[in-house]
C-alpha cells in the first residue's frame, strides 16, 4: 500500500520537506536572535535617554570615540560657541520637511571643543537658497544634550560626496570635521536639548530617537517561520493520507469488477 512513497515523485517531495524544515528552524532562530538584540538595544537606549545628566568629560574626550553603550546618555558641558566654524548638515528632513542640522563647535577651554547639534532649520526656498539660521548665543553657556556617536557611511546609510557648498557637510563626523580646526574636538557630538541661558531664537529641537517596538516584529516573524514548519509537515502528511485513500478507493472499485468477470 505504501510502496508509492518510494517512487521518484514522492521521494522528491520527501527531500523538499526535509530541507524546508531545518531551513524554517534556522530562520525562526535568526528572527528570535534579532528580537533579543533589538529588545536589549531598545532597553539600553531608553535607559540612557532617561538617565541623569553627567559632565561630558566623564564619557568623551578628544581622540576617543564615544562608546556604543553611552550613546544617547544625557550630558552637560559649558563653553562658548565658535560661529566662525559652524556647519550645516544636508539631507536632514524633519516632520516630512527638507532641512538641515545646525552644527556649532562649543569651545570648552584648554584647547578643546565639542560639536553641538543646535537643532534643525528648514531648507531655503530653492536648492541654492541658504536657510535662515538663528545665530548661536554669545558668551558662556551651559548645554545639556544627548551624547551621540560620530556618523559614518555605514552607520547612517548616507554616502559622502565632494563638491558641497562651503560650510556644508553630509555626515556629522568629529574626526573629519576636526581636521584643520584650531582646537581638538571631543569624540562624537552633543544633540542639544536645553541651554542656559536660553537663546532669544534657536533652531527647532531634534526629536528624541524612536526606540521602536523593541524587536516585536522579529518575534512575530520567528513564530511565523516555526508555524510554517507545522504547515509543511501537516501538508506532507495530508498528501500521503489522501494518496492512500485514493488508492484504497480505487482498489475497492476494482474488486466488484473482478468478481463479475470471474462469474
**In 3D, which of 113, 102, 106, 72 has the Cα closest to residue 196?**
106
Q: What is the pLDDT of residues 42-71, one digit of tens each?
A: 788 888 899 999 999 999 999 888 998 999
pLDDT of residue 131: 93
**Grid coordinates standing for 152?**
559614518
Contact 103, 189 (CB under 8 A): yes
Cα angle 57, 170, 131; round to 5: 100
Contact 59, 75 (CB under 8 A): yes
φ and ψ at residue 216, rounded to 5 degrees? -60, -35
DSSP assignment, residue 189?
E
Q: CA–CA separation, 252 vs 248, rounded Å?
A: 6
- At 146, which helix (H) or strand (E)? strand 141-148
Please tell me whether residue 211 adopts helix, strand or coil conformation. Answer: coil
DSSP assignment, residue 62?
B
User: What is the β-pairing status of strands 168-169 and 184-185?
Assistant: unpaired
Tens-digit pLDDT string for the chain (263 aa):
677 777 888 788 888 888 888 898 888 888 878 777 777 777 888 888 999 999 999 999 998 889 989 999 999 999 999 999 999 999 999 999 999 999 999 999 878 999 999 999 999 887 778 899 999 999 999 999 999 999 999 988 898 888 898 999 999 999 999 998 999 999 999 999 999 999 999 999 999 887 765 566 777 887 888 888 888 888 888 888 888 887 777 777 766 655 555 55
pLDDT of residue 172: 97
Exposure string over 60-87, b if 16+ CB within 10 A, otherwise e: bebeeebeeebbbbbbebebbbbeebbb
User: What is the β-pairing status of strands 112-122 and 184-185?
Assistant: parallel
Q: What share of the chain is helix, strand, coil (3-state, %, to 5)?
A: 40, 25, 35
Q: Residue 107: beta bridge partners?
A: 80, 113
Tell me how far the alpha carbon of residue 54 is from its chain's centroid.
Answer: 26
pLDDT of residue 98: 94
**In 3D, which of 162, 161, 190, 158 has the Cα closest to residue 59?**
190
Amino acid at each position: 500500500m505504501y510502496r508509492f512513497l518510494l517512487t521518484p515523485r514522492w521521494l522528491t517531495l520527501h527531500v523538499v520537506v526535509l530541507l524546508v524544515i531545518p531551513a524554517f528552524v534556522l530562520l525562526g532562530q535568526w528572527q528570535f536572535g534579532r528580537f533579543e538584540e533589538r529588545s536589549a538595544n531598545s532597553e539600553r537606549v531608553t535607559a540612557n535617554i532617561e538617565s541623569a545628566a553627567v559632565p561630558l568629560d566623564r564619557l568623551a574626550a578628544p581622540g576617543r570615540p564615544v562608546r556604543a553603550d553611552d550613546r544617547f546618555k544625557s550630558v552637560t558641558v559649558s563653553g562658548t560657541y565658535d560661529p566662525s566654524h559652524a556647519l550645516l548638515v544636508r539631507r536632514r528632513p524633519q516632520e516630512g520637511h527638507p532641512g538641515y542640522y545646525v552644527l556649532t563647535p562649543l569651545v570648552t577651554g584648554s584647547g578643546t571643543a565639542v560639536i553641538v547639534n543646535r537643532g534643525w532649520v528648514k531648507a531655503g526656498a530653492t536648492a541654492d537658497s541658504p536657510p535662515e539660521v538663528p545665530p548661536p548665543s554669545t558668551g558662556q553657556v551651559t548645554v545639556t544634550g544627548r551624547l551621540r556617536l560620530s556618523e559614518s557611511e555605514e552607520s547612517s546609510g548616507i554616502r559622502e560626496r565632494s563638491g558641497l557648498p562651503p560650510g556644508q557637510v553630509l555626515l556629522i563626523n568629529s574626526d573629519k570635521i576636526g581636521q584643520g580646526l584650531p582646537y581638538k574636538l571631543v569624540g562624537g557630538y552633543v544633540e542639544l536639548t536645553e541651554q542656559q541661558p536660553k537663546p532669544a531664537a534657536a533652531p527647532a529641537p531634534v526629536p528624541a530617537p524612536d526606540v521602536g517596538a523593541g524587536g516585536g516584529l522579529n518575534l512575530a516573524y520567528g513564530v511565523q517561520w516555526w508555524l510554517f514548519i507545522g504547515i509543511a509537515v501537516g501538508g506532507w502528511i495530508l498528501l500521503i493520507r489522501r494518496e492512500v485513500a485514493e488508492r484504497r478507493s480505487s482498489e475497492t472499485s476494482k474488486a466488484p469488477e473482478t468478481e463479475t468477470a470471474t462469474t
